[in-house]
Each structure stands twice: as C-alpha cells, then as structure tokens.
Amino acid sequence: MNAFTFYNPVKIYFGKDAIENVRHELSAFGPNVLLTYGGGSIKRNGLYERVVTILKECGKNITELSGIMANPRTTKVEEGVSLVKENHIDLILAVGGGSVIDCSKAIATVSCMEDMTDYWERLFVKKEKTNRALPLAAIVTLPATGSEMNTDCVITNWEEQLKYSYSSIHQYPRFSILDPQYTFTMPREQIVYGSIDILSHIYEIYFSMPDENNVSDDVALALMKNVMENLELALDNPLNETARGNLMWDATMALNGIIQVGKQEDWMAHKIEHALSAFYDIPHGAGLAIVHPVYLAYICKGHYEKFAHYAVSVMGIDPTGKTNHELALEGLKATSAFFKKIGAPTTLREVGIPASAIAAIAEKTLCIKTSYGELTKEDVAAILRQCY
C-alpha cells in the first residue's frame, strides 16, 4: 500500500431513533439553526415534524431553506447564504440525501468568505483554500453520496453548464444521523440510483493504483458485494430494515476515506457524468449507470488482472478457460446487465440525450490525470459514443 494519513472527525449515530442524539449535540451551538431540505418528502414521512419539535424543545430559532433540488445549483447556494447572513445562523442542519448535504456544505463555506465575489471561480474552478465554514450536521434520508462523513460537495452552475466539486476539511459535518427507517419511503428509482452511486464511488477507488494486493481493495470488494446483495433485498421488500441499514452504511463507508487510504483513486467517470447532468439534469445515478461500465472497459488495458479479480469475486463470473482480458470484459458486461436488470438506463438514448450533443458534452468535461492514464476530450467523446 502507498503511504497515507487518515483523519475523519465525524460522529455517526446509527440505528432506530438515532435522531434523539440531536438533543445533546445541539447544546454545543448557538440558538439560530438553518434547516435545509429538499422537495417535501420529510413532511410526508413525519421526519420534518420530529426534527422541528426537537429543535424547538432545545430552544432553537429555526430558519428554513426548502426545495433543494437534485444536482443542487449555485442559485440555491446563494439563497442559503442570504438566509445565513440575515438570520445570524449558528448551525446548518441538513435533512435529506447527498444533494441537500452538498448544498448545505457549500452554503456553510461560502457564507464564511469575507468576499464571496466570484466564489464559483475561486472555489469550484480554482480550488482556492478556505480557513473556515459554518458548522453543519446531517440527518440522512437517502443513502448514496457518503456526504454525511466526508469533506466534499458537488454543485451545478446551470448557466455555464458546469458541475464541479469542492473539498475542504472544514466541510466535515460535526455529526450525522443514520436511521434506516427514514429510507423506507424512498421511491424505487431512488433506491436504484443511490445504490449505483455507492458502487460507482467504490469503482473510482478500487480501479486505481496500486493494483497489488492491499487491505483497501479487499474492503472495497466486500462493500461491492454487500451493496448488490442488499439492493436486491431492498427492492424485493422496501421495509427490510436490515437491507436498508446495510445500504446506508455501505454509502458512508464507500466515501468516508477508509477504502481510499493507500489508493491513488480515479474519478474520471464522475467527471464525465457531471458534464452529462450539467447539460441534461438527469439523475446522477442514471448517468453513472450509463457511463461507468463503458469507461472502465475503455481504460482497463494493462490492468486486466485487477478487473478479472472483480469479475470473479463480485460478479460471479466463472474463470474456467478464460484469460484475464476475457474475464475483465465479461465482468463489465455483467455489471451493465445488472444495472439494466434493476431498472437503470444503460444508454444515452434511454435518457433522451441525442448523439448530436456528444461533442459539446465532451468539450465541457473536466479531464484529469488518473493513475491508469489521462483522457483527452477526444477519448471522452469516444466513450460517450459507445454509451449511445
């Protein structure tokens, strides 16, 4: 394994009624709380009422930012920053999935900038370092991004058709609540796309140097199998608390840094998908289902043994009489077939993206150097054509 330093300060409360731990955590913060959430599902399942009751019983003044969309946009970040400043917010409490938490992280960081002029260019494009962010905490309702236990946020600048990430240690949540019962009302599509996002995060880490045997990769393989097994159980019975709990912790484990130690990582498939959804606003998990297997097939040359190991140990491919190259490609075809079986799209056509858009999407894709190589815009276009 490569040398590494590991640090993660997030306190996790997992399990039924874990939300009650919010009460004693709130004592560490001032009286003014910004409650952020999405389209209103937390009101339908009773979580909103429970959160508001706890906040009021703890003497907190509540300001709300609702309507945070999937692929959260700069306009929503700016709306949140205005609320922070107007109401002298002491803590942001994000209730929802990765989009809500990511938007809240961006609000937390931007609201602490002395001059937020050109914050998009400074933070998301140039990756300028910041020295603080407003405290935030999370109550997770949709396991997918792992944002509840990491430093990252992803925001879309719709006007510029760009979707970029920003990372800072100041964006770690102070604490996060993971209660599987709050995932029971998720629509089937969200279960599918959230689980694909989890798998894609693991792929970005596993399929990178070093290729030789290491602990991080062994844990990653176990997580992949666990996601696939529990996803099928959850789709069969959405009220299966064990399956939903496993998926919830899979999402956190996939991107809290543990399987990343000693790994160079990749993240190019995510860059391609970010460009897709910045143009067409498709669900992140849908874009990853289309792009990631094709991308991996494109870059696997020279690393066939690693891909073959995945094919056999995760996808259950019989290795008898097959070369590593054959196993690698068969494993990736099986991955795409698995995505199709659970109801995800596997081509651009299925989500209404025309072939005529490929060149523009490729041009907007942020190409980064990965441990397996470095793609050009022409490579991205070739991958997208294969996705069509």
**SS3 annotation, 355-377:** HHHHHHHHHHCCCCEECCEECCH
**287 & 170 share domain:** no
Instruction: Return the CATH number at 203.
Output: 1.20.1090.10
What mean pLDDT, rounded, does the chain reach? 97
Query: Is 6 a domain residue?
Result: no
Res 168 pLDDT > 90: yes
| pLDDT computed for residue 161 by the predictor | 94
Identify whether 5 is part of a domain.
no
Please choose, from the candidates 235, 253, 223, 222, the residue with its C-alpha nearest in 3D space to the C-alpha of residue 190: 235
Q: At what angle do helices 304-313 and 324-341 cross, to 10 degrees?
A: 50
Say how many domains are in the chain. Answer: 2
Asked whether residue 53 falls in the same domain as residue 130, the answer is yes
Statement to judge: residues 140 and 280 lie in one domain: no
Q: Of the residues 181, 213, 232, which one is the last residue of a structural domain?
A: 181
For the segment 236-259, the average pLDDT, to the nearest whole number, is: 97
pLDDT of 326-378, one tens digit each? 999 999 999 999 999 999 999 999 999 999 999 999 999 999 999 999 999 99
Cβ(198)–Cβ(155) below 8 Å: no
Residue 84 and residue 198 in one domain: no
- Summarised one tens digit per residue, pLDDT across range 31-73 is 999 999 998 889 988 999 999 999 999 999 999 999 999 999 9
Same domain (yes/no): 93, 229: no
Q: How far apart are CA 356 and CA 201, in angstroms?
A: 29
Q: Residue 147: which of 84, 221, 198 has the closest Cα?
A: 198
Same domain, 118 and 55: yes
Examine the domain organization and report whether 202 and 145 are in the same domain: no
Encode pLDDT of 68-124 as tens digits. 999 999 999 999 999 999 999 999 999 999 999 999 999 999 999 999 999 999 999
Task: Report yes or no on 3 lying in a domain.
Answer: no
Domain boundary among 159, 181, 203: 181
Domain identity same for 42 and 171: yes
CATH of the domain at 113: 3.40.50.1970
Residues 160 and 262 placed together within one structural domain of the fold: no
* 80 and 195 co-located in one domain: no
User: For residue 100, what are the domain limits?
Assistant: 11-181
pLDDT given at position 39: 86
Q: 4 lies in a domain?
A: no
255, 136: one domain = no
Domain stops at, among 181, 197, 221: 181
Does 127 map to a domain?
yes
Q: How many CA atoms lie within 13 A of 74 on its CB side?
A: 20
pTM across the whole model: 0.96
pLDDT of residue 321: 98
Tell me: do 215 and 118 sit in the same domain.
no
User: Which residue carries 């019989």 as its tokens?
Assistant: 318
Mean pLDDT of 271-299: 97
Separation CA 230–CA 59 (nearest Å): 40
Q: What is the pLDDT of residue 1?
A: 79
Flag whether 1 is in a domain.
Answer: no
Q: Is residue 20 assigned to a domain?
A: yes
User: Which pLDDT value is given to residue 256?
Assistant: 98
